Amino acid sequence: MAKNLVIVESGAKAKTIEKILGPSFKVESCYGHIKDLPKKKLGVDIENNFEPTYQIIPGKGKILKKLKTLSKKMDEIYLATDLDREGEAISWHLSQELSHPKKVRIVFNQVTREALKRAVENPADIDMGKVDAQQGRRVLDRLVGYKISPLLWKKVKRGLSAGRVQSIAVRLICEREEEIEKFSFMEYWTISAKFSPSGKARSLQAKLYSLEGKKVKISREEEAEKHAEKIGKAAFRVAGWEEKEKTRSPSPPFTTSTLQQVAGYQLGFSSAKTMKLAQDLYEGQDIGGKERVGLITYMRTDSMRIAKEAQLEARNFLKDEYPKEFIPQRIPIYKNRKSSQDAHEAIRPTKVSRTPASVKNYLSKDHLKLYALIWKRFLASQMEKALIKTSTLDIQGGEYIFKAQATEVKFPGFMRVYKEKAEKESLLPRLKKGAKLKLKEITSRQEFTQPPSRYTEASLVKTLEEKGIGRPSTYVPTISTIRQRRYVNWDRGVLIPTPLARVVTELLVENFSTILDTEFTARMEEGLDTVETGKKKWNRLVEEFYKHFEKELTAAESAMRDVKKEGLKIPETRCKMCGGRMTLKFGRWGEFLACSNYPDCKNTLPVMKKIGVRCPSPGCKGEIIERTSHKGKVFYGCSRFPECRFGSPGEPIDKSCPHCNGPYLVRFRDGFKCPACKKTLKDEIVMKRRIGKIPYKIIKKGSNETRVG
């Protein structure tokens, strides 16, 4: 019969641990937090040192009652919640509710027999530094949410929310959208040439680099043609040859944010999906033995540190699998970011001998993909650097200098196991300085500058981390919240701000400079770190914040624009009932148009989100507007539907096509496409001419004309 009760946060984890610890241990789950601030009131006594009032979370009463009943029958209680601040706070609340005299805290960063045995043999006290940091964060977020949200309800619409990290994330997305909208395409041209050395050496491609000692800048086709004429008459020879060898270091093992980023662009996983899969791998999987086992270490971390025993295990594995030159003489050490808490080590496999191939038959397709990514990244981080040789050939003809470059992997090192991007290798023929070269072909290529990319979940997480905003445990809930609140739409992998997000962001920037300031928010995160280390009291940190916040809140009560009452001005639209001006407002079901003469006139209309682009259907006088399908998917169609059935899955923007002067472009994930000529900015049409006896290609984007000179 079980004599000891172990309490964890998840049912899957409980199942794994109970199998490992055996019959003398009963393992139960509390399913996350059991206590929190009340849902329908502030729950923070501002006048009494910001003291929080905690209540049992609705629905958790039965779970707590079961744990209390079980604890009375046990000799000892082990509080085994997660390692982070939230986990420590859960253990603290459990210790308050369970009256058992023998309650101890145990921590482990991997769910394995060895780690659990060490944890049980070395129990500890609850880390009150982590608890206080969690309380400080919770109180700060409650003050922001419960003080600003009602103001937004009053001034914009009910149901809105604001938050320290959430509002910064939305601001970043909105500002990126503004950059894209203001972007102007700029045309430029590049020139390359094909040269043939004497003898049997193969021809080589080189790009025009400089003219008369200055880097070449060509902005028009006419300039490109003039340069091509001169280049065609020049005699060319080798002006220089340079070889450089550089070492390339492996990437460090994964942190929470880098795992989300790489899983995003390599595997196409959302941040939430990545963390769910990682949680499953951490909590335990059946892999053919008598017990379930955790395959990776704890997945919420900002540290790149690796346990010494794990590094030694990796070295022994490498000795058995690879030649000795792939193993570095010294064990690699990776430096953490300055803002890193370094509470526990990086994400790695619990045993490097469990290769992806050995667990392939026991994991789902997606679990295997993520495990393989973590396994390869960790093993590569313990391997020798790669050696890359870069060769550069300078070719001169008159005042023109062309450059040809090639890259060769001399020693793959860690790249034998893990590459983030495919390495393109190429070779150049060895040519002596002064060797003559025959010009075989000239190519001028039309290019356009590109706008900044919209944020993906992965790139947003990266930006937040770089700015010191949020912590590993906050990234997924932050993105989830801004999507749930309809501040952003998720379209083909990118985050697009809604009109509501832009209105709310504008109001918050105007009235709450501290909350929306990235540097201020980063300093607050650093302040929470100092609370965890015991260098500062959490209520002192909250007090310092509240002094600034209270002043802005008082001013905003009267100064914030009343969008709910006044609406937003839109291009001239008149009320058909009274002739008044129609304004844009935000309601329970989204945006709508309302007469500015309300309450005298109560006319409202469903909003047509006009893009400012005329419908391209022949003879149609409608405009393209944003619509939503019955499944909630955004698409774009004609305002005269059903008379006109024009539709577009992508968002049209009011910019003419640089290819064919078409009236608008359609935005997609990696750029823009023209519906008129069906070309993107990357499409190419080759036009052949001749300069004397030298073939001359013009690669001009967006033209179907072929001219031969």
Q: What one-character-per-residue DSSP string does 91-143 give?
A: HHHHHHH---S-EEE---SS-SHHHHHHHHHS-B---HHHHHHHHHHHHHHHH
494-514 burial, b for 16+ CB within 10 Å, e for fewer?
Answer: bbbbbebbbbbbebbbebbeb
* Residue 542 neighbours by CB under 8 Å, 6+ apart: 50, 136, 139, 140, 143
Contact between 126 and 91 under an 8 Å Cβ cutoff? The reply is yes
**Identity of the highest mean pLDDT range in 185-189, 337-341, 614-618:** 185-189
**In the predicted model, what is the mean pLDDT of residues 647-675?**
79
**Residue 527 contacts residue 539 (beta carbons within 8 Å):** no
- How far, in Å, CA of 281 to CA of 303, rounded? 19
What average pLDDT does this structure show over 436-446?
91
Q: Which pLDDT band holds residue 198 (cuts at 50, 70, 90)?
A: confident
Same fold, 4-126 and 135-183+453-564: no
Task: Indicate the range of 277-281, 336-340, 517-521, 639-643 predicted with least confidence.
Answer: 336-340
Most confident range (mean pLDDT) of 102-106, 575-579, 629-633, 697-701 is: 102-106
For the domain made up of 135-183+453-564, give the CATH fold.
Topoisomerase I; domain 2 (1.10.460)
The first and second tokens of residue 379, run together, are 């093993």
Residue of 123, 120, 124, 125 whose CA lies nearest to 21? 120
CATH second-level architecture of 4-126? Answer: 3-Layer(aba) Sandwich (3.40)
Per-residue pLDDT averaged across 184-210, rounded? 87
118-152 pLDDT, tens digit each: 999 999 999 999 999 999 999 999 999 899 999 99
Asked if the model's pLDDT at residue 540 lies above 90, the reply is yes
How far is C-alpha 92 from the chain's CA centre?
Answer: 32
* Known catalytic residue at 298: yes
Mean pLDDT score of the chain: 88
Helix (H) or strand (E) holding 442: strand 436-448
Q: Helix (H, G, I), strand (E, B), or coil: what is residue 4?
A: strand
Phi (first) and psi of residue 155, to 5 degrees: -95, -20
25-29, strands of its sheet edge to edge: 25-29, 4-8, 76-79, 103-105
Q: Which of 31, 188, 282, 298 is catalytic?
A: 298
DSSP designation for 529 = H
Query: Measured between alpha carbons, how far is residue 160 from residues 40, 482, 551, 556 in Å?
Result: 15, 10, 22, 16
3-state secondary structure (DSSP) of residue 365: helix
Among the residue ranges 108-117, 338-347, 504-513, the one predicted with the least confidence is 338-347
Alpha helices in 363-406 (DSSP H): 365-381
Average pLDDT (62-77) is 94
Q: 164-182 and 128-155 helices cross at what angle (nearest 10)?
A: 60
pLDDT of residue 707: 37
Beta bridge partners of 490: 495
Residue 708 confidence class, pLDDT cut points 50, 70, 90: very low
- Dump pLDDT digits (tens) for 589-643: 667 888 888 888 988 877 666 867 788 888 888 888 877 665 546 678 888 888 8
**pLDDT at residue 370, rounded to an integer:** 98
Alpha-carbon distance 610 to 213, whole Å?
Answer: 51
Residues 6+ apart with CB under 8 A from 298: 82, 83, 109, 110, 282, 344, 347
Which helix H or strand E contains 167, and what residues bound it?
helix 164-182
DSSP codes joined into one string, 311-331: HHHHHHHHHHHS-GGGS-SS-
pLDDT: which is higher, 626 or 339: 626
Taking CA atoms, 622 is separated from 612, 615, 629, in Å, by: 11, 5, 20
Those residues whose C-beta lies under 8 Å from the C-beta of residue 19, and which sit 6 or more positions away, are: 290, 291, 292
In this prediction, residues 356-377 reach a mean pLDDT of: 96
Is the predicted pLDDT of residue 456 greater than 80, yes or no?
A: yes
pLDDT for position 199: 65
Instruction: Kindly report the backbone phi and psi dihedral angles of residue 423, in degrees, each rounded to the nearest multiple of 5, phi listed first.
Output: -95, 120
CATH 2.70.20.10 fits 187-249+386-448, yes or no: yes
Query: What pLDDT is attached to residue 709?
Result: 32
Q: What is the mean pLDDT of residues 85-97?
A: 95
Full DSSP string of 16-71: HHHHHH-TTEEEEE--S-SEES-SSS--EETTTTTEE--EEPTT-HHHHHHHHHHH
Percent of the chain topping pLDDT 70: 92
Q: What three-state secondary structure class fits 674? A: coil
pLDDT value at residue 594: 87
Domain boundaries, given as residue ranges, for the chain: 4-126, 135-183+453-564, 187-249+386-448, 256-381, 566-673
Q: How confident is the model at residue 587 (pLDDT cuts 50, 70, 90)?
A: confident
Token reading at 413? 């090192």
3-state secondary structure of 5: strand
> Rounded to whole angstroms, how far apart are CA atoms 366 and 219?
47
Q: Does pLDDT of 70 surpass 80?
A: yes
Residue keyed to tokens 């595997």: 267
Q: Is the pLDDT of residue 705 over 50?
A: no
Rg (CA), the chain: 31
* Domain 256-381 grouped into CATH 1.10.10.60: no
Least confident of 428-442, 516-530, 680-694: 680-694
